[in-house]
Amino acid sequence: AQSVTQPDIHITVSEGASLELRCNYSYGATPYLFWYVQSPGQGLQLLLKYFSGDTLVQGIKGFEAEFKRSQSSFNLRKPSVHWSDAAEYFCAVGDGGFKTIFGAGTRLFVKA
């Protein structure tokens, strides 16, 4: 069965520092991969997606993610974090049918 692991429950970074959030997936074929962001009290919003092609994908708000098949990873990165990036981030994989499987999430705290 497909699964998604986000090893870090929470991460704290200083404003202006770089960020990397880790995501590992388990899936037999080429996966459809997503990162969503949830601000406090809000629903989830799509940051970026990978379906095929270039393994480095760009998203909204200056985020990018790199698909590495050999490592079964899809890590999210941002070169310089802003205070407004504080939120919870979810990695997800499409199961090839009609289901999207989510990881447990990583909560990002940003220090001034």
Partner 1 sequence: NAGVTQTPKFQVLKTGQSMTLQCAQDMNHEYMSWYRQDPGMGLRLIHYSVGAGITDQGEVPNGYNVSRSTTEDFPLRLLSAAPSQTSVYFCASSALGQPSGANVLTFGAGSRLTVL
CB 23 within 8 Å of CB 47: no
Contact call for residue 55 and partner 1 (CB under 8 A)? no
Distance in Å, CB of 26 to partner 1, minimum: 14
CB 45 within 8 Å of CB 38: yes
Cα–Cα distance, 80 to 72 (Å, whole number) = 25
Distance in Å, CB of 98 to partner 1, minimum: 6
Q: What is the largest CA-CA distance in the chain?
A: 43
Q: Of 86 and 101, which CB lies nearer to partner 1 in the complex structure?
A: 101
- Interface characters, 58-77, with partner 1 (x: CB under 8 A): --------------------
Q: Of 67 and 103, which CB lies nearer to partner 1 in the complex structure?
A: 103
Q: Is 40 exposed, middle or buried (0-12, 13-18, 19+ CB in 10 A)?
A: exposed
Q: Which one of residues 57, 67, 103, 110 is an interface residue with partner 1 (CB under 8 A)?
A: 103
